[in-house]
Amino acid sequence: MQLHFSHSMRSITISSNNGFTDLMKIKVAARHISYRTIFHTILILAFLLPFVFILTALVTLEGVNKCSSIDCLGRRLGPKLLGRGDDADRFLRDFHKIISQVESEEVPDDLKLPDNFKQLVSEMKSNKYKAKDFALILKGMVRQLTMERSEREIRESKFQELMNKHFAATSVPKGIHCLSLRLTDEYSSNAHARKQLPSPELLPVLSDNSYHHFIVSTDNILAASVVVNSAIRSSLRPEKIVFHVITDKKTYAGMHSWFALNPISPSIVEVKGIHQFDWLTRDNVPVLEAVENHNGVRDYYHGNHLAGANLSVTSPRMFASKLQARSPKYISLLNHLRIYLPELFPNLDKVVFLDDDIVIQRDLSPLWDIDLGGKVNGAVETCKGEDSWVMGKRFKIYFNFSHPLVAKSLDPEECAWAFGMNIFDLREWRKTNIRETYHAWLKELGTLPPALIAFRGHVQPIDPSWHMLGLGYQQNTSIESVKKAAVIHYNGQAKPWLEIGYEHLRPFWSKYVNYSNDFVSSCHILEP
């Protein structure tokens, strides 16, 4: 606020600090000024000046302080008018200056950071830190929290990716579903698709032990065709091969149509549905009741596996292995059939059981000459090998050792062995209680794989070159090792008939698919 007196002293002007706004102008008498006039003038000024001060402040600070009351203006302007300034503003300016300086500095590696925010506050109260030290510690803690958050988000994303792959692996691709539907329709309308397999004159061969008998249990028609085709094309004596393809009731017509319309001569194929085995009754197969009635079994295989997992102590590899062990296929009777082979094929002495996600690349007839030393099951062990991801499977991967019976009966470090390509001596098997042990553990646990327990003491390890595992686990599989293996196994989630299958590994499987076949081409089966 400024006061301006005219040269003639006849007027007084009160204006704002910038000099542009005249707030009041007082004219004085032209010639004679009495003491009484001066006295009245001073009284008027004493009365008006406080209001002029407030108006000036409003004009100056409007739009900046956003104060709408006299009290607010007093609190803000009072200390400044008294020369004290705003301590809080000054502190913030100083602290901001220190933060700006520290921003360009590196946090020392040996700087000890508080364990948590509570400790930081406690140490601040004891005046332990200088301003710059506090700024560095604050920067270090922010960086640490950011890194921990990023690591946690990456880890959670990895587990979610594994879950998504798990669900993708358990789905049925549209092309394979189409193939089954078309072949089923063909069975009902085409007599050639219903012809007897094998022909009546070849029926005695189905129980002739001079032949090499392979058994495949699956509801995937395309996968079954690859297993059969690869075995025949790799065999030195295909005329000695007999394939027993077992499927469920809903897939039987389509599976029969495929092999009836695509003969595998000179080899022999038999297609049977589960419903065609008289021995498979509820009395003989308590697995059916155990799987259907055990509480939590369905959730165990179909539930949200992320919800019950302690992700903070579980590695992604361990979680992937547990997901593999929780595949919904394990509650399918087709998966349990292998435990009943001696009863389903009472006249056979030795068979090779094959999963539907394998490819045969070498003649397998020498398998029948392997001496199992009185054991029942010839299999590759899965705890020995250079690839710890695939060949590092021990019992602790498959079983819940918090279960008291499991902890009491099993060794978590015991070596597991692989299903997928197994030589079974059915004669020796019939002398054991493997089936009863299997039923007992399935009833007790309600989960799989009880076969690992049931066959304990009955497994003869065979050379790993016969059975290479893991083509469905990881993409960095050695191509040279794949080429040398007799049987390659796409165990894992990345099946070669799925979009998530590994592109560079799919050709080893797809070369046995006849993409020119009318049914295959019309269903747009995934090509390499």
Q: How far apart are CA 224 and CA 221, in angstroms?
A: 5
Is 320 within the bounds of a domain?
A: yes
Query: Is residue 4 included in any domain, yes or no?
Result: no
DSSP states along 226-260: HHHHHHHHH-S-GGGEEEEEEE-HHHHHHHHHHHH
Position 463 in a domain = yes
- State which of 107, 129, 162 marks the end of a domain: 162
Per-residue pLDDT of the chain (528 residues; tens, 9 = 90+): 454 545 554 555 655 555 545 545 555 445 555 656 666 666 666 666 665 556 555 555 554 445 554 455 455 555 554 455 556 666 667 666 766 766 667 777 667 777 666 776 676 666 666 666 677 777 777 777 777 677 777 777 777 777 777 667 777 889 999 999 999 999 999 999 999 999 999 999 999 999 999 999 999 999 999 999 999 999 999 999 999 999 999 999 999 999 999 999 999 999 999 999 988 887 777 766 655 554 455 555 545 555 455 555 566 666 666 666 566 566 677 888 899 999 999 999 999 999 999 999 999 999 999 999 999 999 999 887 776 667 777 888 777 788 888 888 888 888 889 999 999 999 999 999 999 998 888 777 655 568 888 999 999 999 999 999 989 887 788 899 999 999 999 988 889 999 889 999 999 999 999 999 999 999 988 876
Domain annotation covers residue 494: yes
Q: Are residues 130 and 200 in the same domain?
A: no
> Do 322 and 359 belong to one domain?
yes
- Tell me, what's the pLDDT at 219? 94
Residues 347 and 308 in one domain: yes
Could you tell me whether strands 241-247 and 212-217 are parallel, antiparallel, or unpaired per DSSP bridges? parallel
In a domain, 247, yes or no: yes
Least Cα distance to 23 among 47, 46, 3, 8 occurs for: 3
Is 195 a member of any domain?
Answer: yes
pTM of the model: 0.69
pLDDT at position 228 is 98
Q: Are residues 137 and 266 in the same domain?
A: no
Structure tokens belonging to residue 12: 């007084």
pLDDT computed for residue 149 by the predictor: 72
- Strand pairing of 268-273 and 350-354? unpaired
Task: Specify if 393 maps to a domain.
Answer: no
Q: Which residue has the tokens 């083509």?
A: 471
179 and 126 share one domain: no
For residue 109, the enclosing domain spans 97-162
In this prediction, residue 283 carries a pLDDT of 76
Tell me, what's the pLDDT at 295? 47
Contact 37, 29 (CB under 8 A): yes
Q: What share of the chain is helix, strand, coil (3-state, %, to 5)?
A: 50, 10, 40
Q: DSSP for 156-186, please give it.
A: HHHHHHHHHHHHHHTS--HHHHHHHHHHHHH
Q: Specify the pairing of strand 241-247 against strand 268-273.
A: parallel
In angstroms, rounded to a whole number, what is the distance separating the alpha carbons of residues 60 and 54? 10
**CB-based contact 265:239 (threshold 8 Å):** no
Tell me: do 330 and 365 sit in the same domain: yes
Of the candidates 141, 162, 183, which is a domain's last residue?
A: 162
- Residue 496 near residue 210 (C-beta atoms within 8 A): no
Residue where one domain finishes, among candidates 162, 189, 205 = 162
Residues 6+ apart with CB under 8 A from 331: 291, 297, 298, 301, 448
CA distances 495 to 165, 232, 337, 471, 509, Å, are 11, 22, 22, 8, 10
Whether 355 and 272 map to the same domain: the answer is yes
Q: Are 258 and 221 in contact (CB under 8 A)?
A: yes
* Residue 363 pLDDT: 97
**Are residues 244 and 142 located together in one domain of the fold?**
no
Which residues on adjacent β-strands are paired with residue 279? none
* Contact assessment for residue 426 and residue 348, using Cβ atoms and an 8 Å cutoff: yes
288 and 149, same structural domain?
no
**The residue to which tokens 């009365």 are assigned:** 47
Cβ neighbours, 10 Å, residue 428: 19
Angstrom distance (rounded) from CA 314 to CA 303: 18
| d(C-alpha 169, C-alpha 171), whole Å | 6
In total, how many domains does the chain have?
Answer: 2
Q: What is the model's pLDDT at position 123? A: 66
Element (H, E) at 139: helix 131-169
- Cβ-defined contacts of 451-458 (< 8 Å, 24+): 451/338, 451/339, 451/419, 452/395, 452/398, 452/399, 452/416, 452/417, 453/409, 453/410, 454/339, 455/376, 455/377, 455/417, 458/375, 458/376, 458/377, 458/428, 458/429, 458/432, 458/434
Residues recorded for the chain? 528
228 and 352, same domain (yes or no): yes
pLDDT at position 269 is: 97
- CATH for 299: 3.90.550.10
Q: Is residue 408 part of a domain?
A: no
349 and 224 housed in the same domain: yes
179/157 same-domain check:
no
